[in-house]
Amino acid sequence: MTDSGGLAASSPQVVEPSTIDVDREVGMTLTWADGHTVALGLVELRVNCPCAGCHELRRAGQPVWPRPGSPEPLRILDARLVGAFGIGFDWNDGHSTGIYGWDALRRSTA
């Protein structure tokens, strides 16, 4: 996974995972039909949020998470499919704008 916002959807050839397992207190595991599996922890997902605001924080050398006043521990409150190209999360720190694209998640090296 990159720290430059590289989790955004970017390819028209996106293939959805066949299995999406979200554990609100641990992270997410994705498995594709060919057996490729990616497991990502909560902090890795939150720190690499692909939204424009988080991208700008990283570009400015500021932390995406934790921020002053961030709740501990980090948790996912809700997860939602975004079209056929990705997944979004509502975090317990109030953040909810990142869309994690399937193609970028598949390329991540967690």
Provide the residue-wise pLDDT of the chain in tens; the chain has 110 residues: 544 445 554 445 668 999 999 999 999 999 999 999 999 999 999 999 999 999 999 999 999 999 999 999 999 999 999 988 999 999 999 999 999 999 999 998 65
pTM (two decimals):
0.84
The CA distance from 73 to 58, in Å, is 21
Spatial contact of 12 and 103, defined as CB atoms under 8 Å apart = no
pLDDT attached to residue 36: 95
Spatial contact of 76 and 90, defined as CB atoms under 8 Å apart = yes
Q: How far is C-alpha 74 from the chain's CA centre?
A: 13
Judging by beta carbons within 10 Å of its beta carbon (0-12, 13-18, 19+), is residue 35 exposed, middle or buried? exposed
Spatial contact of 51 and 45, defined as CB atoms under 8 Å apart = no
pLDDT attached to residue 15: 87
Tally the C-alpha atoms within 13 A of residue 8's C-alpha that lie toward its C-beta: 13
- Architecture of the structural domain at 19-107: 2-Layer Sandwich (3.30)
pLDDT attached to residue 7: 53
Please report, for the chain, the start and end positions of each structural domain, with discontinuous segments joined by +: 19-107
